[in-house]
Amino acid sequence: MDDQGHEHKNDSNSESSGGKDDGILYVGIDLGTSRSAISTSNGVRKVVESYVGWPVDMVARKVLKHDIVIGEEALKLRPMLDMHRPLENGLIKEGSEKDAEAVRQLMKHLVVLGGAGGKGDGKKQVRAVVGVPAEALRVNKQQLRGALTGIVDSLMIVTEPFAVAYGLDALLHSLIIDIGAGTADFCVMNGRYPNDEDQRTLNSAGDAIDQILTKSVQEKHPEANFSEHMVREWKEAHSFVGEPPERIVVKAPVRGKPTKIDITDEMRNACESLVAPVAETMIDLIARVEPEYQDRIRNNVILSGGTSLTRGLSDRLQAILKEYGGGRVKVVDDPIFVGSDGGLAIAMDAPDSDWERLSSG
Ligand SMILES: Nc1ncnc2c1ncn2[C@@H]1O[C@H](COP(=O)(O)OP(=O)(O)OP(=O)(O)O)[C@@H](O)[C@H]1O
Ligand SMILES: [Mg+2]
């Protein structure tokens, strides 16, 4: 492995991440549609499913013994909860106070998990770099600021793929494609802060695949009974593009009886739906770079995000690059923490003047 081969061993020794002992807690947060991760300067790394739920009624509250449930726990307990997945399509859903509050609770939960205790914790200052989809940066900054006020002291909002590039030290002549649940985010790195032209966001990502898969399996097996969560699990276990690596047979109840159904063709079509839009945007972004650098960028395409684990995807994109003079497409080693580690690296390096202070009050 070359430029992306290094790992961030963020163990308890904060020196290993270039620790500064200035009484400030630096954190990198990857705010994701399906899961959110935090990496901190005191060596903590945590990931949480981006779900927030409130008990639906008095009975649920009595059973749950909590006023709010966050993360995987919420997913498990969903029949008892008013569930919110506040970041569908990579944006904080607008017009819903519950969703805004859900983002706030999710961020608070992450920051506390990251080691910045609540009040009475000696009030260690927290400086957070938060990675969001490229387009959210234009639309949604204000909402994010609101959600973080009172939770962190200083904030820097960056795009998710830029955080990934920074963490991998792939800052020059690279193209990062971060394909998550809500969005696919693209960023060309030219050795400086990327601008709007260097970045793109598509809404074709994991959630869109889940929707296509759900619809086509329903059409083929109208008698079978399954939830969106089951569909996502099938996809995560069996996703592929190109030739089927094996027949894909899953179990779903038919009139209460677990029954095997073959979903190979449906899986293929659903996953393939990603290829054309991603390839088109990849080619378009490369074509905009100065001609003398295009070759280097084609040879340094980096895929991150959960959906980049789809079998055959990187090979397919690399095959498409062949028609444009050839290239290399690699998948990152650690898709869960690569974004938050990158955010942390930015936080540690950023001069005071790059930070935005959030006033709590
Ligand atoms: N093996 C796999 N094959 C295909 N998709 C997968 C696989 N594993 C996870 N995924 C999908 O990856 C997505 C989650 O990826 P990730 O955690 O990068 O997203 P996110 O950061 O929450 O979303 P976004 O970046 O869009 O806000 C989900 O849609 C999930 O189903
Ligand atoms: Mg993401």
- Percentage of the chain beyond pLDDT 70 is 88
Residue 123: what pLDDT? 63
Helices (H), 206-261: 206-220, 228-238
Q: Is residue 52 classed as helix, strand or coil in its secondary structure? A: strand
Separation of CA 274 and ligand 2 centre (Å): 16
What residue owns the CA closest to ligand 1's atom 21? 32
Which residues, other chains included, contact 30 with Cβ-Cβ below 8 Å and sequence gap of 6+?
36, 37, 38, 131, 160, 163, 337, 339, 340, 343
Residues of the chain with pLDDT under 50: 1-18, 118-120, 361
Domain with CATH 3.30.420.40 in the chain: 14-169+337-357, 172-204+273-331, 206-271
Integer Cα distance of 189 and 261 in angstroms: 44
Separation of CA 353 and ligand 2 centre (Å): 27
Q: What angle do CA 64, 69, 70 make, to 5 degrees?
A: 155
Residue 147: what pLDDT? 86
Integer Cα distance of 286 and 293 in angstroms: 9
Please give the radius of gyration of the chain, using alpha carbons only, rounded to the nearest integer: 21
Integer Cα distance of 30 and 340 in angstroms: 5
Check if the beta carbon of residue 327 is closer than 8 Å to that of residue 318: yes
> Domain 206-271, what fold?
Nucleotidyltransferase; domain 5 (3.30.420)
Q: What pTM did the predictor assign?
A: 0.88
Separation of CA 106 and ligand 1 centre (Å): 18
Q: Tell me the residue length of the chain.
A: 361
Instruction: Choose the residue to mutate in 52, 157, 233, 236 for probing ligand 1, maximizing ligand atoms within 8 Å of C-beta.
Output: 236
Integer Cα distance of 17 and 34 in angstroms: 27
Residue 90: what pLDDT? 56
Helices (H), the chain: 58-64, 72-76, 97-113, 134-139, 141-148, 160-168, 206-220, 228-238, 264-272, 275-287, 291-298, 313-322, 338-349
Handedness of CA 310, 250, 52, 109 (dihedral sign): negative
Separation of CA 281 and ligand 1 centre (Å): 19
Amino acid occupying residue 245: P
> Domain 14-169+337-357, what fold?
Nucleotidyltransferase; domain 5 (3.30.420)
3-class SS string, 262-320: ECHHHHHHHHHCCHHHHHHHHHHHHHCCCHHHHHHHHCCEEEECHHHHCECHHHHHHHH
Q: CA separation (Å) from 133 to 43, 51, 158, 165, 268?
A: 25, 18, 9, 14, 26
Residue 5: what pLDDT? 35
**What is the number of the ligand 1 atom nearest to the C-alpha of 181?**
29
Instruction: Choose the residue to mutate in 49, 228, 235, 267 for probing ligand 1, maximizing ligand atoms within 8 Å of C-beta.
Output: 235
CATH class of the structural domain 172-204+273-331: alpha beta
Q: What is the pLDDT of residues 26-80, one digit of tens each?
A: 999 999 888 999 999 999 999 999 999 999 999 999 999 999 999 999 988 999 9
Tokens of 81: 């909860």
